[in-house]
Amino acid sequence: MSLIEDVEESGWVLGKDTIDSIYACMQCGKCTGSCPSGRITGYRTRVLMNKLQSGDKSILEDPDIWLCTTCYTCYERCPREVKTTDVIRALRNVAAKEGYMSKAHRATAMYVIKTGHAVPINDATKKLRKKLGLSEIPPTTHKYPEALKAIQAISKKMKFDKLVGFDWNTMNLEEREEK
């Protein structure tokens, strides 16, 4: 499958038209010029659009594609209405499938599978909550085990557990070589 077909498939939720909007890119550079990340890092939004147009699969292993904060500034301003930020999200889905997910990102994902929250509660916060007159445990998956089960069921069904390399026996990440 071509790169763009992969991105279309992974990004079906956002719509094929959204992904195919990259073909309208005229390489004006409004996106890169507006990008707060590009001012700090080596990430170049416009170049990414160019490589997507030409189907250059090397971008999947380019760590720079993970430096977009999804601030949507480029998306708002693009004169050709390329859905840049959404395309980047879908492209990262393909990269993740190819195994280019960082350990730190896998850990964040692991917490959601394990607790229902990317940033779970801790003892310190429990104390603060109490002091403020709030329930010590918030009424979320933290309090409702059956709700957590539902999140875990979704993870399994979507093979999200496999994607991030979650080991149900150890309830932790399995060892994986970082690409």
Q: How far is the CB of 43 from ligand SF4 (least distance, A)?
A: 7
With b meaning 16 or more CB within 10 Å and e meaning fewer, what string describes 92-114?
bbbbbeeebbeeeebeebbebbb
To the nearest whole angstrom, how small is the minimum distance from the Cβ of residue 91 to other proteins?
9
Tokens 């932790």, residue? 172
Local structure of 173: helix, strand or coil: strand
Residues 6+ apart with CB under 8 A from 47: 32
> Interface with ligand SF4 by CB under 6 A: which range of 41-49, 54-62, 89-97, 138-146?
41-49
Report the SS3 class of residue 57: helix
Neighbour count for residue 41 (Cβ, 10 Å): 14
For residue 39, the one-letter residue type is R
Which listed option, ligand SF4, other proteins, none, makes contact with residue 172 (CB within 5 to 8 Å by class)? none
**Under the criterion CB under 6 A, does residue 84 sit at the interface with ligand SF4?**
yes
Shorter beta-carbon distance to ligand SF4: residue 47 or 101: 47
Supply the DSSP symbol for 144.
-
In this chain, which of 5, 16, 26, 127 binds ligand SF4, going by CB under 6 A? Answer: 26
3-state secondary structure of 25: coil
3-state secondary structure of 82: coil
The one among 49, 59, 60, 96 contacting other proteins by CB under 8 A: 96
Mark the segment that binds other proteins (CB under 8 A) among 51-59, 160-168, 170-178.
160-168
Q: Which of residues 44-73 bind other proteins (CB under 8 A)?
A: 44, 46-47, 66-73
171 touches ligand SF4 (CB under 6 A): no
For the CB of residue 84, give the shortest distance to other proteins in the complex, in Å.
Answer: 10
Determine contact, residues 84/49, Cβ cutoff 8 Å: yes
Q: Is residue 85 close enough to count as binding ligand SF4 by CB under 6 A?
A: yes
Interface residues with ligand SF4 (CB under 6 A) are 25-31, 34-37, 45-46, 49, 68-74, 78-80, 82, 84-85
